[in-house]
Amino acid sequence: MNSTDSAASAARTAQDSTVFRTLARVGYVVLGILHLLIGGIAISIATGGGGEADQGGAMQQIQRSPAGVVLLWIIVLGLVALAIWQIAEAVLDRDPDAKKKWGHRIKFLGTAAAYVAIAGTALVYALGGQSQSSDSSQSFSARLLAAPAGVALLVLVGLIVVAVGGAFVVRGITRAFTKHLELPTGAARKGIISFGVVGYIAKGIAVGVAGILFVVAALTHDPETAGGLDAALRALAGLPFGVIILWTVGAGLVLYGLFCFARARYARM
């Protein structure tokens, strides 16, 4: 058996495991909780409150709650399982169109990397540490700007993040996410789709603004401009009618969180 066959066999074994499938669904629940918290913090910022509207801020709230450490470990397990599930999907993709197949694989692997990154943040908090995505983004930007062709590289990173945000928006508008769900009928179906549409668009806007900040950081040679999701949401607050925009995006992230709960139940797995 060659390495490709071995990888496919391992991927099938993972997807056939009821325990593993359950853990992956827990991962979607975890994502829902995180987006509820991030959306709530964004709304708080819009109304004059504080907090970090990113994964670090959400993890900090969880860490301070009763049984927070236990929940953080559950978050780590759920997201790692979900990441492995995405990798298995990439390995087992059988689209006859080679371009589409590799496009799917890049998407699955990129999603897996994002889940692993969030799981890493949860692990830091579970072990009693602290982490701020704004500091990480700024230090990453500073290192990249110091490298040869650093400005071009950071612009490229920003454009990729903008493209990811745009993909979320398109996914919401076209309702492409429904292809991966086994939805119920009636009002429940309409409600889940509505939450998904608004949630994907809101998340896409937030991610897209974060990408724009990377580009601005590159063009101004100021790594402090790049601050991750929290900085992106605060940038929205600085726009004309920014409070209304930020409140709307925060509410959309809350709806995305609710959609993730439905996704945990109805995702095709």
Interval 168-185: pLDDT, tens: 999 999 999 999 899 888
pLDDT confidence band for 259 (50 / 70 / 90): very high
Residue range of the domain that includes 109: 3-266
User: Residue 181: enclosing H or E segment and its boundaries?
Assistant: none
- Residues with Cβ < 8 Å from 159, sequence gap 6 or more? 211, 215
CB 244 within 8 A of CB 177: no
The whole-number average pLDDT for the span 204-220 is 86
Instruction: Inform me whether the pLDDT recorded for 50 exceeds 70.
Output: no
What's the pLDDT band for 238 if we cut at 50, 70, 90?
confident
Q: How far apart are CA 37 and CA 237, in angstroms?
A: 18
How many independent structural domains does the chain possess?
A: 1
pTM recorded for the entire structure: 0.83
Contact (Cβ atoms closer than 8 angstroms) between residue 52 and residue 60: yes
Q: How far is CA 122 from the centre of its chain?
A: 14
